[in-house]
Chains A and B, each alone.
Chain A
Amino acid sequence: MNFRLFAAALLPLLPSAFALDGVIQIHDPSTLVRCDGKFYTWGTGGSPLVSDDGWTWRRGAVPPVTGLAPDVIRLGDRYYMYVAHNAGGQPHAQIDMISSPTLDPESPQFKWEKGGEVASTDGVEDCNGIDPGLLLDPKTGKLWLTYGSYFGTIRIVELDPKTGRRVDPKPKPVDLAINCEASIMIFHDDWYYLLATHGSCCQGANSNYNIRVGRSRSPTGPFVDHDDLDMMQGGGKLFLGSESRVVGPGHFGRLDLGDGVEVFSYHYEADLDRGGASVLAIRPLLWRDGWPVAGDNAKTGSYQLRSVRTGTALELAVEGVPLTSGRGGGARGGRGPGRAAPPGATAPGAPSGATPVAAGEATPGGGRGRGPGGGMFAGTGSPIPPQDVAVVSKNWPAGNVDTRMANYLDQAQQKWTISPAPNAGGYPGAPYFKITVAGTDRALAATADAELTTVPAFTGAPEQLWCIQQLTDGSYRIRPNTVPGVKEPLALSAAGAGFATLAKFNPASDRQRWHLQGL
């Protein structure tokens, strides 16, 4: 079998870069909601999904009322589910509410109670009363319900946060947007954002669903996009469209995990790597220039782990081997020789047995680091290959090796590979990762005194598992699953430009914020 055929045969077995683990088939998922440590969502037709960690999902309990595209919100000590169903042919529809003190069917308190209709459309008016979306307004404490689907407008009505029912059914609902569905409002930085799905659904890989957004200072609009186009005129800034092997994102829901981490749930109409099934997805929610942006879960790859605070990169605390022989030692404050090759090492490209050379030191016949082409800035005249970690690492200690931070120089001890740790669970949107020195099995680990080390080989121990979550500013927080003997969660922290440790995450600081710069 040639490689292409082998790859084609293997492809269906590989998870999508965005796909969650376990049973994730769902359509029109409700906003993720947490109850007693578990995550829940329901889709059209009931289709419940539940997860202990937000990464691995399984089927949950079907509620007593099922229908179209529910949304769920916690109000006080109860959970409220809003479910739509067609009362006749579209757009004749209504939205009903049920509530329960818990979402866990195993709990003795678990009991859905019917709360009645909260909104409807008569089949004539210019709205289709389905696809509820809830916002408990953090500014005013009011509860808002938006709904609607293509037939006309997206509407908003006010609910009572104490009962989940309409405050007053008499006022005419306010129109917010047109020709879209799956609407929901979120609030950020004194702006109300209306997210809604444009395009067509329910056509598998041909669905051109995409999530759009407009914003307003008022929950009743007008919502305009970045181009000042009112959503009542079809406006909407693209928030998320189809990508690569996943098609038709829709039904946005926001979940704030706290401490600067927000995620959003949604579905893809078709995950091509899962046979075109409609699947649940979770990604980080970022904020840039006053607009929500779809972030990225950490993905397998090799990275420089660079501190936002210091600009220096995490590295193994070993003497680096320069990629070139340098350009001479300097006499001003900041110039001079860099790091030397370890004993026995030779300059890259040098013939076997050549004289060891250190950065900034003289190379025979070349002056102080001059290349063969003449002039100290001429380089070598040919591409310099990446460092061979198998060669460089021969000089590294065999046991645990500390870490430190330094300016990035593309040296082997500065490159880290992030890859999912098998069967280790995860967190909303991503699995636990192992972080190894690229090209080796040497793994980053937390120590019992809440510091960092690297162990010679990854064993799967919880202190070697890392939760890598994108923060709302686009940087990442990197936390070990476990720090031996420490109960509170700690995160990788730049204590100084040259040293990283583990510390409690401080959202107001850059100390625990990292860039994953792909290599």
Chain B
Amino acid sequence: MITPRKIFCALAASLFTLAATRPALAADSKAPGIAASPVLKPATAGSVPAGPEGFLTRWLVLDPIPGDGRVTDSAIRAAATKEYFANQNSVMPRDGDKVTIAGYSLFSRDGNEVKVATADYTWHAVDCSRHNLNLYHLAFFQGKPTSNVVFWGVTVVNSPDEISGVRLAVGSNAGSVWWVNGQEVTAVYGDKQTTIDDSVSRKLTLKKGANIVRFLVVQNAGMVDCCARFLDANDQPLSRLTFTLTDPAAK
């Protein structure tokens, strides 16, 4: 017997399949740009203070790079160790900087080999109006692919003192890997939705002054975003931090 519920389920399943197999959006020169996003704005100069909830709201994000869309543990580990561009784990770029990524092959989830051409990718300095960094908007409003991609992001967290016993608490959609001052500290595996404080690092020490926080978000399809903040030894948000996009040590 065909019931309305079954029809709905069939339609929903079809929509999922269509969405999953839809070709990625091609880059569109007529796209409105990141500034059109209601939740992302080009970053202003100087520093921005952490709000009472401590979320890192100022980021440099690289255009989406084609990936295989896999978000399993091993796929995310593979993405985190793949060299996409030189000094990817140490570079502190400026807004508008470009990196060239040489062409490579990947295998999509249906097993087909996809050749990715050599291309230039641009860093964008953005401020988030919410707790999360909306990577979907960053790509979508530039007319760039939002599915089967990876995003690199980096920011500078300025601490007034050396603070020990803190934890980096992150959430992401989908998987992600996070580094603080060059050390991997936590990761999110699987097709997760962004939840505040989903994965939490072991205790670490923030240096007085600049601390570099870097992420790689691995996206399959649909929404893609992430959030991060530091928690103190009592699991309370560290709100006395500021965020900039310049590493003093790099000068």
The interface-forming segment of A100-108, A461-469, A493-501 is A493-501
Q: 1/0 contact trace for B175-200 toward A, CB 8 Å?
A: 00000000000101111110101111
The answer to the question of B169 belonging to the interface, with a C-beta cut-off of 8 Å to chain A, is: yes
Residues of A within 8 A of B9 (CB): 377
Residues of A within 8 A of B192 (CB): 498
The answer to the question of A330 belonging to the interface, with a C-beta cut-off of 8 Å to chain B, is: yes
Interface centre among A336, A358, A359 (most CB of B within 10 A): A336
The answer to the question of A362 belonging to the interface, with a C-beta cut-off of 8 Å to chain B, is: yes
The answer to the question of B122 belonging to the interface, with a C-beta cut-off of 8 Å to chain A, is: no
Interface centre among A329, A335, A497, A501 (most CB of B within 10 A): A329
A332 touches B197 (CB 8 A): no
The interface-forming segment of B28-36, B67-75, B92-100, B209-217 is B67-75
Residues of B within 8 A of A331 (CB): 15-16, 18-20, 22, 147, 221-222
A415 to B189 alpha-carbon distance, docked (Å): 19
Shortest Cβ distance from B81 into chain A, in angstroms? 15
The answer to the question of B110 belonging to the interface, with a C-beta cut-off of 8 Å to chain A, is: yes
Residues of B within 8 A of A360 (CB): 109, 191
Q: 1/0 contact trace for A318-346 toward B, CB 8 Å?
A: 11100000011111111111111011000
A336 touches B71 (CB 8 A): yes
Which residue of B is nearest A406, CB measured? B190
Q: 1/0 contact trace for A498-519 toward B, CB 8 Å?
A: 1101010000000100000000
Which of B169, B191, B197 meets A335, CB within 8 Å? B191
The answer to the question of B25 belonging to the interface, with a C-beta cut-off of 8 Å to chain A, is: no
Residues of A within 8 A of B70 (CB): 337, 340, 358
The answer to the question of A122 belonging to the interface, with a C-beta cut-off of 8 Å to chain B, is: no
B72 touches A334 (CB 8 A): no
A329 touches B221 (CB 8 A): yes
Which residue of B is nearest A320, CB measured? B73
Which of A333, A343, A359, A404 meets B74, CB within 8 Å? A343
B16 touches A335 (CB 8 A): yes
B72 touches A330 (CB 8 A): no
Residues of A within 8 A of B174 (CB): 336
Shortest Cβ distance from B194 into chain A, in angstroms? 9
Residues of A within 8 A of B193 (CB): 333-334
The answer to the question of A376 belonging to the interface, with a C-beta cut-off of 8 Å to chain B, is: yes
A450 to B233 alpha-carbon distance, docked (Å): 12
The answer to whether residues A361 and B109 also contact, given A404-B199, A495-B235 and a CB cut-off of 8 A, is yes
Residues of B within 8 A of A359 (CB): 72
Residues of A within 8 A of B71 (CB): 336-337
A359 to B122 alpha-carbon distance, docked (Å): 34
A499 touches B186 (CB 8 A): yes
Shortest Cβ distance from A415 into chain B, in angstroms? 18
A340 touches B72 (CB 8 A): yes
Q: 1/0 contact trace for B217-251 toward A, CB 8 Å?
A: 00011110000000100010000000000000000
Which residue of A is nearest B193, CB measured? A334
B197 touches A497 (CB 8 A): yes
A337 to B189 alpha-carbon distance, docked (Å): 11
A511 to B71 alpha-carbon distance, docked (Å): 28
Residues of A within 8 A of B201 (CB): 499
Which residue of A is nearest B233, CB measured? A503
B222 touches A336 (CB 8 A): yes
A329 touches B109 (CB 8 A): yes
The answer to the question of A274 belonging to the interface, with a C-beta cut-off of 8 Å to chain B, is: no
In this complex, the interface size class of chain A, counting residues with CB under 8 Å from chain B, is 35 or more
A498 touches B200 (CB 8 A): yes
The answer to the question of B163 belonging to the interface, with a C-beta cut-off of 8 Å to chain A, is: no
A330 touches B169 (CB 8 A): no
Residues of B within 8 A of A330 (CB): 16, 19-20, 191, 221-222
**Inter-chain residue pair count (beta carbon < 8 A):** 125
A359 to B75 alpha-carbon distance, docked (Å): 13
Shortest Cβ distance from A315 into chain B, in angstroms? 11
Which residue of B is nearest A409, CB measured? B190
Residues of B within 8 A of A450 (CB): 203
A129 to B190 alpha-carbon distance, docked (Å): 67
The answer to the question of B115 belonging to the interface, with a C-beta cut-off of 8 Å to chain A, is: no
A332 touches B222 (CB 8 A): yes
Residues of A within 8 A of B109 (CB): 329, 337, 360-362
Shortest Cβ distance from B178 into chain A, in angstroms? 12
B199 touches A496 (CB 8 A): yes
Interface centre among B75, B192, B200 (most CB of A within 10 A): B200
The answer to the question of B167 belonging to the interface, with a C-beta cut-off of 8 Å to chain A, is: yes
The answer to whether residues A503 and B17 also contact, given A339-B73, A497-B198 and a CB cut-off of 8 A, is no
Shortest Cβ distance from B131 into chain A, in angstroms? 14
Residues of A within 8 A of B169 (CB): 495-496
The answer to the question of A451 belonging to the interface, with a C-beta cut-off of 8 Å to chain B, is: yes
Q: Which of B64-84 contact A (CB under 8 A)?
A: 69-75
The answer to the question of B89 belonging to the interface, with a C-beta cut-off of 8 Å to chain A, is: no
Residues of B within 8 A of A327 (CB): 13
Which residue of B is nearest A333, CB measured? B223
The answer to the question of A78 belonging to the interface, with a C-beta cut-off of 8 Å to chain B, is: no
A343 to B72 alpha-carbon distance, docked (Å): 12
A342 touches B200 (CB 8 A): no
B19 touches A332 (CB 8 A): yes
Which residue of A is nearest B74, CB measured? A319
Q: Which of A390-434 contact B (CB under 8 A)?
A: 404, 406
Which residue of A is nearest B167, CB measured? A495
The answer to the question of A368 belonging to the interface, with a C-beta cut-off of 8 Å to chain B, is: yes
Shortest Cβ distance from B63 into chain A, in angstroms? 21
The answer to the question of A449 belonging to the interface, with a C-beta cut-off of 8 Å to chain B, is: yes
Which residue of B is nearest A404, CB measured? B199
Shortest Cβ distance from A374 into chain B, in angstroms? 12
A331 to B201 alpha-carbon distance, docked (Å): 29
B199 touches A336 (CB 8 A): no
A503 to B70 alpha-carbon distance, docked (Å): 34
The answer to the question of B173 belonging to the interface, with a C-beta cut-off of 8 Å to chain A, is: yes
A498 touches B222 (CB 8 A): no
A404 to B73 alpha-carbon distance, docked (Å): 13
Interface centre among A330, A340, A342, A406 (most CB of B within 10 A): A330
7 A–B contact pairs at CB < 8 A? A329-B109, A333-B223, A335-B222, A336-B191, A338-B72, A362-B109, A501-B202
| Given A331-B22, A496-B200, A501-B200; 15 other pairs, CB 8 A cutoff | A320-B73, A330-B221, A330-B222, A331-B18, A333-B173, A334-B191, A337-B70, A340-B70, A340-B73, A343-B74, A449-B202, A450-B203, A495-B235, A496-B169, A498-B198
The 8 closest A-B CB pairs, nearest first, are: A331-B19, A340-B72, A319-B73, A333-B223, A496-B200, A498-B199, A499-B200, A336-B191
